[in-house]
Amino acid sequence: MVQKSKFVLSYFEETLITEIMNIKYLGHACFQIYIGGKYLVFDPFIRNNPLAIEAGINIDDLKADYILVSHAHSDHIEDLVYLAQKTNATVVSSYEVVAWLGKQGYANGHPLNVSGKWAFDFGTIKMTPATHSSSFADGSYAGIAAGFLIYAEGKTLYFSGDTGLTSDMKIIGDLNKIDCAILPIGDNFTMGIEDACHAADFVKCNNIVASHFDTFGYIKIDHEKAISHFKQNGKELHILKIGGSIEL
């Protein structure tokens, strides 16, 4: 009987492996997604996030083939230029953010606007509406805030970005079969627990990963209360530790 080398995988085994989407939480609204052989980093804010530092997240160890930026507030864009230059990642964001990035000397950007989509080498990114403000550190206009739909390897991920509850989410749920939704739950600047649970209903997804909580005093939450509220409404809320991850 010939034994198959552990380094040789059947087509079926390879398919199973490539279909796994790994979602790693890096603190605040920053995530690293591994899918289709590529690393996607969302809203990089690490070096001045004390919770990320405490958890041992080192931006110099971070891999990024793509960086997705939902809006230009400093707690979402502060490490953008540094990480982009270090990794030569393609930055996907609004036209205004990509144009601003060019003025910083970095030209590898791909601008999108709401409802626009583009097929990249790992899958497709579509920009979705978000109800939130957006401005650069000097107060200048940074376009609109947004979220993203990621279609890759048979999976659909919804990253809402910073947002309030909006009926636009019903359209997203009607037109997509979402496997996982990353939603803010910290309240004050975004949706709180109750509205985020309604948002999960709107997008028809019961598998939720929490974002935008605990970093500042304004957005500290009761973890047990949040998990319990989602569970009572038939949903699973993952409040990941910084550096923790889940797989789809």
Q: What is the pLDDT of residue 16?
A: 43
Q: What is the pLDDT of residue 245?
A: 98
**pLDDT < 70 positions in the chain:** 1-19
Give the predicted TM-score (pTM) of the model: 0.92
- Distant-in-sequence, close-in-space partners of 105: CB < 8 Å, separation ≥ 6: none
Rounded Cα distance, 111 and 36, in Å: 21
Nearest 5°: the CA angle 149, 241, 62 is 65
Per-residue pLDDT of 186-220, as tens digits, reads 999 999 999 999 999 999 999 999 999 999 999 99
Q: What is the pLDDT of residue 19?
A: 67
Per-residue pLDDT of 132-168, as tens digits, reads 999 999 999 999 999 999 999 999 999 999 999 999 9
- Do residues 242 and 215 touch, judged by C-beta distance below 8 A? no
Q: Give the residue among 78, 144, 154, 89 at the shortest CA–CA distance from 116.
A: 144
Q: Enumerate domains of the chain plus CATH numbers.
A: 21-241 (3.60.15.10)
Q: What is the pLDDT of residue 14?
A: 40
- Do residues 29 and 75 touch, judged by C-beta distance below 8 A? yes
